[in-house]
Structure 1
Amino acid sequence: MRKAVIAFSLVLVCTQVSAQTNEEKAIKKTKDAIDLMDAGLIKESIKLLEEAEALDPGKFMYTYEKSYAHYIDKDYKGTIKILEKLKSHPDASERLYQLLGNSYDLIEKPEKAFDAYDEGLKKFPNAGMLFLEKGNVYWEKKDYGKALPLYEKGIEMDPAFPSNYYRAALLYANSDNPIWA
């Protein structure tokens, strides 16, 4: 009787393992890929994310994470190529536009970065992170007069997003009127 119970349990476990859906397998691969990214193994991570895409095509998460892996690997053109195609996905978020704009900025195409941030703001008008990133482009150019209104608009539109407060405070602290900081 004991052997029968063990055999039945073994068959049940094997059935459950083989019954794992493609989506579940893809999610597992994605989690493993993120762990690899965190460990600095970017190429290996991208390979797993491509496997996840093949198992469960059309999901935003796998492709977005792959674009982020390219970004970490400083392959900004690869990031842009992926994200430009992903913009029309129904699950696209303000983070996509942030990463896209940042990628354009890092390849020294600030006008394209602004286009990406503005496109994101049309879809997500309260996205404080996009106001922050637009301000940061001006910050890097030392055009603080254009950066500050963007940080302030980000505070107005998304008061819970803290980075706009920080950047605005830094600008005020270094201004002729540091009392505002």
Structure 2
Amino acid sequence: MKRVFLLIALLYSSQLLYAQQTVESIRKQATAAAQQQDFSGAIQTLEQGLEQYPDNIDLLKDEAYIAFISRDYQRSIKIGKSLTGRDDADVQSYQILGMAYKAIAAYKDADKMYKAALKKFPKSGVLYSEYGDMYTQYNNKREAINQWEKGIAADPSYSGNYYYACKYYADNNNIFWSNIYGEIFINIETLTKRTTEIKTVLLNNYKGLFNNKANIEELKNNGNDFEKAVASSMLAVMENESGDISPEMITAFRARFLLNWSNTNANNYPYKLFDLQLKLMRDGMFDAYNQWLFGQAINKNKYDNWVYTHDEEMQSFTQYQRNVLFKMPPEQYYGRM
């Protein structure tokens, strides 16, 4: 009898595996067609798959997304609305519908949808990120940064909100938060086009910082407790920097700041970003880290020469970066939400 039950269980498991593989093969076929710009063929493949597997959420999400990228927004919205009305709707279901709404500037519908989505998934950084993006399209940047800050607080390991917040604060002359969020972003998302973009933003921020301390002085006087503490340490070690900016100049300033910070407020305001910098300094990788952050943006030839003449140092840093995943703890949010 036990053997009979075992055989039934094995047969059932193999049937589930076959069904799953069949759905996966349908998705792969549709994706391949879409990659060749054969959107109608991709949709047809998914529709045929749905005849075999009615209401399969993965097939429906693929169809909604392919409809979106083929600019059949009404079809995408129709499928997306049916998906988000289901009990098993996931974050992706809301993402796809949100993209379609934004594509046709249906901001009221998108706003209603994002609110419902975040009520269901309050810790989803990607939903906050895309909700903020909706507000930028709606030309409401103040509400956009509110959503990105909420996303950073709710899901500190998701990179997108740091990316948008860094650019927002740079555009609004808030070097302090642009620098902090930008560097966190780069440590989470280390090898994309956005990484290169934000490295340039950080470099421009430091140029502005060395030329004008007003932003930091304002935070020292009127910021929240964390802002006051960090600004005080920055101002305490800031010197009259002269000459062309270089990785060495930035590194020296940042090292002075870290030493001051570790002796004053590090215990009062634990912060993973500063902990990372201190560790790299203790382990002899801080120069390589700052070259990686700023070197190419300042002068690629000089950066390449530095890497060539400091091969062992750069390899140690690169190996560390590959092996250690950077994550911000949720309890270390000190922003302006």
What corresponds to 2:254 in structure 1?
none
Normalised to the residue count of structure 2, the TM-score between the two structures is 0.46
What corresponds to 2:90 in structure 1?
93
Please give the per-residue CA displacement for 1:99-144, whole angstroms capped at 9, x wherever unaligned. Answer: 1122112111101001111111111111111111111122123322
Contact 2:84 2:93 in 1 (8 A): yes
What corresponds to 1:53 in structure 2?
50
Aligned-pair CA distance for 1:180: 1.9
Question: Equivalences for 1:78-89 in 2 at 5 Å?
Answer: 78-89=75-86
Distance 1:24 1:177, change over 3 A: closer
Find the partner of 2:165 among 147, 160, 168: 168
Please give the per-residue CA displacement for 1:37-58, whole angstroms capped at 9, x wherever unaligned. Answer: 1221111000000111111222
Partner SS, residue 142 of structure 1: coil
**CA distance in 2 between partners of 1:153 and 1:26 (Å):** 36
Structure 1 residue 129 and structure 2 residue 126: aligned? yes
Partner SS, residue 156 of structure 2: coil
Find the partner of 1:139 among 120, 130, 136: 136
- Structure 2: state its 5+ residue gaps: 1-16, 179-337
Distance 1:177 1:24, change over 3 A: closer
Contact 1:135 1:147 in 2 (8 A): yes
**CA distance in 2 between partners of 1:170 and 1:132 (Å):** 13
Contact 2:76 2:100 in 1 (8 A): yes
Partner SS, residue 28 of structure 1: helix
What corresponds to 2:266 in structure 1?
none
What corresponds to 2:227 in structure 1?
none
Normalised to the residue count of structure 1, the TM-score between the two structures is 0.83
* Aligned residues: CA RMSD: 1.7
Distance 1:23 1:53, change over 3 A: farther
What corresponds to 1:111 in structure 2?
108
Partner SS, residue 91 of structure 1: coil
**CA distance in 1 between partners of 2:148 and 2:21 (Å):** 41
- Structure 1: state its 5+ residue gaps: 1-19
**CA distance in 1 between partners of 2:125 and 2:175 (Å):** 24
Contact 2:68 2:100 in 1 (8 A): yes
Aligned-pair CA distance for 1:23: 5.2
Aligned-pair CA distance for 1:21: 5.0
Partner SS, residue 117 of structure 1: helix
Structure 1 residue identity aligned to 2:97: L
Aligned-pair CA distance for 1:95: 1.4
- Greater CA deviation, 50-59 or 23-32? 23-32
Structure 1 residue identity aligned to 2:167: L
Structure 1 residue identity aligned to 2:57: F
Contact 1:27 1:52 in 2 (8 A): no
What corresponds to 2:66 in structure 1?
69
**CA distance in 1 between partners of 2:138 and 2:59 (Å):** 34
What corresponds to 1:8 in structure 2?
none
Structure 1 residue 179 and structure 2 residue 171: aligned? no
Partner SS, residue 92 of structure 1: coil
Structure 2 residue identity aligned to 1:100: L
Contact 2:107 2:138 in 1 (8 A): no
